[in-house]
Structure 1
Amino acid sequence: MPTGVALRDARQQLFEAAERVLVRDGATGLTSRAVTTEAGVAKGVLHRHFADFDAFLAELVLDRLGRVKAQAAALRDAAGTGAVADNLTSALLSIFDPVVVAIVALVIARDELRTRLRAAGTARLPLVGESADLVAGYLAAERACGRIAPDADVDTLAPTLIGAAHLAFTERKDDPPEPGDVRKIVTTVLAGALR
């Protein structure tokens, strides 16, 4: 690899390369060499920006968590507008993109990564836990708007939705579920709670 060539945003370039490798080759194919090769940079670039590969992976997951938090704000802002089922269907389709599904598998596969993420204050199962919080926050906002039953247990409904959607997306890695299938999950889980 050439040296002395300035990289615009090495961290982001490495994250994007890691996401491509992870989706294409899975958790076992994600190595520091695979990432730097995919990014078209020397292997030392990764170690110049991160203490080790697990530190890089932890930052990758935390970067993705930042996106989930942005989605949470947007979803909460949607409370009271549109159809609840449509809002949640769109959110679940966005949350469980191929990168997130692959990252969840990666976190499950790497003990050291889970340890570092917990130390950083993530949910017990990063991305899944935060996604459940995202949905619970939205459902609570909809309950406050009167569009969800006042006695609806949003803290049970949210992880139920996330779990059912996660299963639907992981079972069909190469062919994610259709929006109609995700909407069916939403309407089934929320059948007794929607007003």
Structure 2
Amino acid sequence: MHIHNVRGQLFEAAERVLLRDGPDALTSRAVTEEANCAKGVLHRHFTDFDAFLAKLVLDRIRGIEDRTTTLRVAAGTGNVVDNLADALQDLFGPVTVAIVALITFRNGLRARLREAGLTGIPLVVQGTAMIAAYLTAERELGRLADDADIDTLAPTLVRAGHLLFADRASAPPQTDAIRKMVTNVIAGALRPLIT
């Protein structure tokens, strides 16, 4: 395994184990076997397994922060409900849902994430900030009411979205179900289109 690629390969291996076998099966041995490398490779790059998992979470948070910029730029284009439904579908892909379960499952990981300055449930918190940034931009553009309560709408959308996606045993929710939830949550804040 090339030294410049180790972290990425280990992260990808961890995600595969997590998706296939769930959070209780995710161990350093399972990750290194999945990555086809010696167990010592992981411990050469990370102080312990929870430090590795914390870096995995931080890596996924950076992805959400990148998507926040893209979503905010989309404000004023397309349909607000569709934009939100797409963002929630992207946010709650199988890896994110599995990592949120992992954070809930591992006390040591939660402690490491708190040490890194993260509060709440990482990924969910950043997803809420992403949706809030988009809703704020839409409100500024006049597509949401001036009094739209972003501090209530964003976490409501994210938590309701997470509930739709959280069942690992079932297929992801249909786009229509996501759109229906988004429509119901933002109905009072959405300004009608002027034709």
TM-score range, shorter chain: over 0.9
Matched, 1:126 2:122: yes
Matched, 1:59 2:55: yes
The alignment status of 1:145 with 2:141, answered yes or no, reads: yes
In structure 1, the residue corresponding to 2:114 is in which secondary structure? helix
TM-score normalised by structure 2 residue count = 0.95
Shift of 1:109: 0.9
What does residue range 40-189 of structure 1 map to in structure 2 within 5 Å?
Answer: 40-171=36-167, 173-189=169-185
Measured after TM superposition, the shift of residue 174 of structure 1 is 3.2
Gaps of 5+ in 2: none
Equivalent position SS for 1:183: helix
Does residue 30 (structure 1) correspond to residue 23 (structure 2)? The answer is no
Q: CA deviation at 1:75?
A: 0.5
Runs of 4+ in structure 1 deviating by more than 2 angstroms, as ranges, are: 5-8, 171-174
Give the conservation status (yes or no) of the 8 Å contact 1:79–1:138. yes
Gaps of 5+ in 1: none
How many angstroms apart in 2 are the aligned matches of 1:172 and 1:24? 10
Query: Contact between 1:123 and 1:130, CA under 8 Å: does it hold in 2?
Result: no
SS at 1:9's partner residue? helix
Aligned residue identity for 2:31: V
Output the TM-score relative to the length of structure 1. Answer: 0.95
Counterpart residue identity of residue 158, structure 2: I
What percent identity do the matched residue pairs reach? 59
Q: Cα distance, 1:64 vs. partner?
A: 0.4
Q: Is the 8 A contact 1:33 1:43 kept in 2?
A: yes
Partner Cα separation in structure 1 for residue 28 and residue 7 of structure 2: 13
> What is the CA distance between 1:113 and its match in structure 2?
0.8
Q: Deviations over 1:22-41 (max 9, x none)?
A: 01111100000000010111
Cα separation, 2, equivalents of 1:48 and 1:63: 19
- Cα deviation for residue 121 of structure 1 reads 2.0
Deviation at 1:124, TM superposition (A): 1.2
Q: Cα RMSD over matched residues? A: 1.1
* Distance change >3 Å, CA 172–CA 189, structure 1 → 2: farther
CA gap of 1:172–1:113, structure 2 versus 1, over 3 A, is closer
How many Å separate the matches in 1 of 2:79 and 2:35? 41
Code of the aligned partner of 1:86: D
Q: How many residues align?
A: 191
What is the deviation of 1:112? Answer: 1.5
